[in-house]
Amino acid sequence: MNAKRADSTRTKAARTPIAMATIGLAAALLVTAIVGGGYWGWTRYQEIEHQQDVIARAKLRAEATERAKREAERIAAVKRKKEAAAEAKRRAASEAIRQTEEARRKAADAATAKQQTATASVTAEGGRIDPSKIKTPPMNSAETYIAYMTKWRGDDRTLLVKRWGRFRAMVKNRDLRREKEKRAFLLAPREEFARTRNPTRVYAHSWLGIGFGVTISGPHIVGRMTTEIDVKPGDKVLEIGTGSGYQSSILSYMTTKVYSIEIIPGLARVTDKIYTRLAKGKFKEYANVTRKAADGYFGWKKFAPFDKIIVTAGIDHVPPPLLRQLAVGGVMVIPVGPPGAQALLKITKVQSKSGKIRIRRHDIYASDPSRAGGRGKTKVSFVAFTKYNKAGKTISRWGKK
C-alpha cells in the first residue's frame, strides 16, 4: 500500500513540471496573441488616419486651386472691362478727330470754292479753268509757303514740309528752273496720285509702284521733263501714259489744253475716278485734263497737232504717228533705248526757210553739269511702252512697231 502510494506521489510529482510548462506555454501564446493583435490594430489605425490626412490635404489643394481660378477669372474680367473702356475711349477720340477733320476739310473746300470763284475765271473754250488766275504760292521760305497752303487749300502740313524739301532739292538740281514749273510743282498734290500706304514716301526721290505693273515717276524726272518742254499758256499738250495722273496734274497749272492717253483700261478707270473726285472738290483746274483709254502709240489725231508731247513710257524708237502729230516748232520729250537704259530725248520739229521739215534730237542729261557721271553718261529707266496683242492684252513694244 505504502509502495503504491509512493509511486502515485512520484507520478504526480513527475507530471507537475509538464503541466506547468504547458500552462506557461499557453500563457505565452495568449500574451503573444494579445500583443500581436494590438500592434495590427494600431497599424491599421495609423493607415486610416494617414488616408484621411491625404484626403483632407487634397481637398485643401482643390479649394486653393478653385480660389486661384476664381481670382484669375475676376482679374481677367476686370482687365477686359478696362480694355473695353479704353477701346471705347479710343474709338470716341478717333471719331471726334474724324469729325473734326471732316469739318476742317469741308470748311477748307468751302473756302477754296469761294476763293476760286472769286479769283479763277472760266475761259470761253470748253468751260476750262484758267490756271493763270490761281494765285502763286510764296516761294521765299518754307514757313510762308506752308502757312499759305494750309490756310488757302487745307493741305496737310506734314506733307507740305516734304513737298517743300523736295522742291528745294529739285531747284538745286536744276530740275525746276523757271517760275512756272516751280509754281506747278508747289501746287500739285502728289499725295493724291501716289497710291502709297506710307505718306512719308510720297515726295521721296524714287519712283513708286501704283499697281497694274506700272509706276509713278520720281519728282525729279517729272520736273525735268516738264521743264524741258517749256509749256506756254494756250499750248496744246499731249501726254502718252496717264499712269497715276500726277504728270498731267502739273501740266494743268500751265495750260488749259492737256490731253492724256492711258493704254491699261483698269488703270485709266482708277485715275479717271481720282481726277473726277478732285475736280469736283478743291482742284477745279483738273477739269482741264481731257483723258481717254487707248493705245498712245498712235497719238490723238482728233486734237492734233500738239505744241508739246510728253511720253512717260520707254521705247526703242520714236513713234512716227507722234512725230506727225507734233506741230512745227513743237517739242517732244521721250525715253528711247533698251529696257532699263533709255536716253531721255528732247525732240524738236523745225522747218527750214525752204520749207523742209527737220527733226532735232538731244539727250537732255548729256551736257548737264548737275548730273553725276559726266557728259552723255546718264540713262533712265521707264516702264515699257506697250501695245495690245491679239488676245487684247498689253505687251511691250520694245523691238516692235
Which residues carry out catalysis? Answer: 217
| ω into 199 cis (within 30 of 0) | no
CB-based contacts of 1: which residues, under 8 Å, 6+ apart? none
What is 373-393 written as a DSSP string?
T-TT---B--PBPEEE-TTS-
CA distance 26 to 32: 10
CB 314 within 8 A of CB 342: yes
CA distance 165 to 173: 13
CA distance 11 to 23: 18
CB-based contacts of 349: which residues, under 8 Å, 6+ apart? 323, 326, 327, 328, 329, 330, 331, 332, 357, 358, 359
CA distance 249 to 247: 5
Written as one letter, the residue type at 142 is A
Helix (H) or strand (E) holding 37: helix 2-119
Residue 325 has a CB neighbour count (10 Å cut-off) of 20
Q: Where are the alpha helices (DSSP H) in 281-370?
A: 320-325
Cα 355 to Cα 267, 328, 358, 363, distances in angstroms:
42, 11, 9, 26
Cα 12 to Cα 4, 23, 27, distances in angstroms:
12, 16, 22
CB 212 within 8 A of CB 383: no
Q: In this structure, what C-alpha cell is assigned to residue 341?
A: 537704259
CB 396 within 8 A of CB 384: yes
Which residue in the block uniquely carries the three cell numbers 507537475? 16
